[in-house]
Structure formats: C-alpha cells, structure tokens
C-alpha cells in the first residue's frame, strides 16, 4: 500500500461550503487520501457559517483559524499569519482552495511560498473588472496554482489567454451543482415559501451584498427603489446580509423598505431553506455570483444587478439576465418575465453532479 496523499481543504465563506462538501465526500471514500478541513473563519456567525456544515453533512473543521472580519488587507494578512503554522505542522501534498474569497488567495500565497502544491476549484472565471476584489483574488490565485479546475469551457480560454500552460487546466464542471443536485429534493420538501403564506411562483427572492452596490448611497437607493416598485405587484423575500443591514442603517435607507408591505425582510437563511425558497420563485434578483449558477440549474430567471459577471456562461446559455443597476431596466425585465417573455436557456456542459468525481480522479493521478 502506497503513501497516503495528504490534502488540506481551505474554506472561509458561505459559497465555499457548497463547493468543498462533495469533494471531501468523494475523496474520503478513497483510502489513498487523508483530508484535513481548515476553516479560516472569514464567515463566522451561525447563519453564515456553522449551519452550512450541519446541513451539508460536512465534518467539523479540523482547524478553525477564527480570523473574523476586517479590511481586505487585514483579513488577508491574518489568514496568512494563521495558516502558515498549519502548513508547517501538517506538510500536506496538496492545498485545495475554492472560489474567489480572501481566504482563497491568502492560503494560496502561503502554500506557494512554502512550495506546497495548490489546486484551485472554480478556476478561470473572469468578470474582467479589476475594481472587484474577487477578480484580483481569482487572477492571482490562478497565476500561482499548480492545478486549475474550471467550471466552464470559457474559463479554460481565459486561463490560456493569461499564459497558463494547458497541462495545468482541467475542465471538470461546476462543483456547486453536485451539492445542489444532492440537496434539491430535501430542500423542496421544506416548502420554505409557506412561512410567508406564499405559493410557488407567486413571489421573487432578493439578495444584495456587493460593495459596489451597497456601499454607494445613490446606487443602493436606486436598487431599493426598483425593488420597492416590483414588490407592489409581486412579494419580494429579502434575506438580508449583515453588510447590507449595516449600510441600510448608516445611509438612512430603511424607510424605503418599510413603505411596501410586499417587501419582506428576513434573517439570513441556511442552505436548505434558501434553496427551497429560490427553487419555486418566479424570479430572483441578485448581485451574487453563485446564485447566478444555481438559478440556471433550477431554470429560474435571474436578474443580476451588476454591469458584469464572472458567470458569463449563465448569460450565454442559462437563465441569467444582466440588468445592471438602472432602476428602469430592472423593472422592465421583471415585468417581461411576469408577462411570460424571455429567452430560451439550457444547462451548461458538465453541470451534471459529477464534478467531484472528475476532480478526485485528477488529484489521485498526480500521485
């Protein structure tokens, strides 16, 4: 029997948890691997972190760095300082990082400088907007990783244009889809919409948290004004992100939300409840990246309130509409969907629930 492959998986924020769960499950079934889960603590409250481990049947983190919040520089630096001793103690063969959060880049930098191989899951996606902190994290992580697992063919092309050699790049599909497909039946059984006395297809769901949207007073006000108008003819359920709630109070915009009885603010939801809610929505309004992919899989129209996206495949092939931050355009597209107008869409290639299997095979082949 050969030496076991030691792998450290790094998670830090809510989207990472849906990505790591199927891969740890798949790798743990193979006696060749020894998996260690490190939670950086970038998201640390119950609704944004702990409940996801419980619902996704993720093992408790072996190590929690508990870095908490802070500026991008503070958070990245703290993660690096706390992660380095972990690497020096455990000496893994691979560090696997996920997505584009600060934890992803910070741990990649530490591993690379200690000459530990890094595999990046969800590599190559690009918004081509370097004002987004996540875009910087993506570009730098991909530049110094040893294996790049991409969710769409366009991601391969992005990496090749950046000069990354083809041998590092593996098109494996979207790992979030693995989690969604194994969870959708259980989530649907929860019928979360009934909490608000709603019926399937009789409401919309809103998420809003991007710095460019909620930290700019005028932009934030315009978005809320559009949502207020929509909520007059369709109830809108709004699980509010802590950042967004803070900005609402700071900017004195809470009154905008209180004017419409059709807009329902709720606490952040766990994965299963949120999946249940969006699966039966008439449409979703969001500035999230992961939600653009999830709605495409569920064939739910998604109005993305941004001027660009890293998930272009969901616009080209899926159910995603880029509506920007213009109030009239948001309302126009929402009305069009209500009237039954819209495009045809399909499920992107390899979004089939087998991404973790493909990643596992590549990692095991590395020896």
* 25 closest CA partner among 59, 55, 64: 59
Whose tokens are 């900005």? That residue is: 247
Q: How far is CA 219 from CA 61, 181, 213, 215, 310, in A?
A: 38, 35, 6, 8, 21
Query: How far apart are alpha carbons 34 and 334 in whole angstroms?
Result: 48
* 335 closest CA partner among 321, 345, 346: 321
* 149 closest CA partner among 128, 129, 178: 178
3-state secondary structure of 240: coil
* 34 closest CA partner among 1, 64, 12, 57: 1
- Contact (Cβ atoms closer than 8 angstroms) between residue 121 and residue 97: yes
Strands (E), the chain: 5-11, 33-39, 63-64, 94-98, 117-121, 147-150, 169-171, 204-206, 236-239, 263-266, 283-286, 302-304, 320-322
- Contact (Cβ atoms closer than 8 angstroms) between residue 30 and residue 5: no
The set of catalytic residues is 209
Count CB neighbours of 303 within 10 A.
27
């Amino acid at each position: 029997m050969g030496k076991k492959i030691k792998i450290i998986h790094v998670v830090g924020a809510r989207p990472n948890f849906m990505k790591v769960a199927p891969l740890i499950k798949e790798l743990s079934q193979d006696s060749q691997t020894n998996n260690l889960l490190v939670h950086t603590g970038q998201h640390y409250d119950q609704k944004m972190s702990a409940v996801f481990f419980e619902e996704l049947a993720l093992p408790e983190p072996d190590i929690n760095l508990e870095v908490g919040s802070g500026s991008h520089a503070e958070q990245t630096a703290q993660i690096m300082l706390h992660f380095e001793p972990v690497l020096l103690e455990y000496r893994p063969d691979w560090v696997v990082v996920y997505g584009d959060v600060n934890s992803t880049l910070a741990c990649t930098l530490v591993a690379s400088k200690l000459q530990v191989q890094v595999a990046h899951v969800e590599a190559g996606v690009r918004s081509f907007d370097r004002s987004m902190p996540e875009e910087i994290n993506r570009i730098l992580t991909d530049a110094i990783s040893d294996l790049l697992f991409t969710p769409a063919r366009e991601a391969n092309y992005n990496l090749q244009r950046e000069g990354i050699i083809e041998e590092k790049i593996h098109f494996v599909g979207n790992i979030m889809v693995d989690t969604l497909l194994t969870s959708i039946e259980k989530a649907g059984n929860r019928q979360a919409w009934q909490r608000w006395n709603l019926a399937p297809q009789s409401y919309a769901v809103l998420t809003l948290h991007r710095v460019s949207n909620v930290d700019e007073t005028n932009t934030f006000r315009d978005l809320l004004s559009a949502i207020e108008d929509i909520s007059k003819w369709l109830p809108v359920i709004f699980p509010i992100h802590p950042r967004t709630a803070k900005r609402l109070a700071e900017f004195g915009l809470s009154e905008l939300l209180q004017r419409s009885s059709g807009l329902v603010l709720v606490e952040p939801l766990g994965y299963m409840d949120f999946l249940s809610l969006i699966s039966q929505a008439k449409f979703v309004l969001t500035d999230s990246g992961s939600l653009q992919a999830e709605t495409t899989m569920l064939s739910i129209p998604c109005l993305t309130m941004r001027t660009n996206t890293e998930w272009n495949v969901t616009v080209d092939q899926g159910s995603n509409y880029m509506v920007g931050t213009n109030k009239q355009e948001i309302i126009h597209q929402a009305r069009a969907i209500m009237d039954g107008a819209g495009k045809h869409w399909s499920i992107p290639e390899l979004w089939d629930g087998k991404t973790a299997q493909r990643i596992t095979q590549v990692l095991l082949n590395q020896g």
